[in-house]
Homo-oligomer: A and B are copies of this chain.
Amino acid sequence: MSDFEIDWDREARTGVAEAVLCDGKTVAQIAAILEATGPRRMFLTRLSEEAHAALPDAVRTGLEYDPLSRTAVHGGPAGTLVDGPVVVCAGTSDLPVAREASRALVFAGYAAPVIADVGVAGLWRLMARLPEIRTHRVVIAVAGMEGALFSVLSGLVAAPVIAVPTSVGYGVATGGRAALSSALASCAAGLVTVNIDNGFGAATAAIRLLRAMDAPH
Contact = CB atoms under 8 A, between A and B. Distances in A.
Contact of A14 (B167, B190, B198, B204): B190
A181 B178 contact: yes
B158 A211 contact: yes
A189 B121 contact: yes
Quickly give the copy total for this chain.
Answer: 8
A93 B198 contact: no
Given A152-B152, A172-B195, A121 B188 contact: yes
A84 interface: no
Given A29-B92, A209-B212, A187 B117 contact: no
A193 B193 contact: yes
A200 interface: yes
Interface string A104-132: 00000000000011111111010000000
A171 B164 CA distance: 11
Nearest to A83: B217
Interface bin, chain A? 35 or more
Nearest to A163: B192
A15 interface: yes
B162 A192 contact: yes
A7 B194 CA distance: 28
Interface of A: 3-5, 7, 10, 13-16, 18-19, 21, 23-26, 29, 33, 46, 68, 90-93, 95, 116-123, 125, 137-138, 144-148, 150-152, 154-162, 165, 167-198, 200-201, 204-205, 207-209, 211-213, 215, 217
Given A170-B198, A171-B198, A172-B185, 6 more contacts: A123-B156, A172-B184, A172-B195, A178-B178, A191-B194, A191-B201
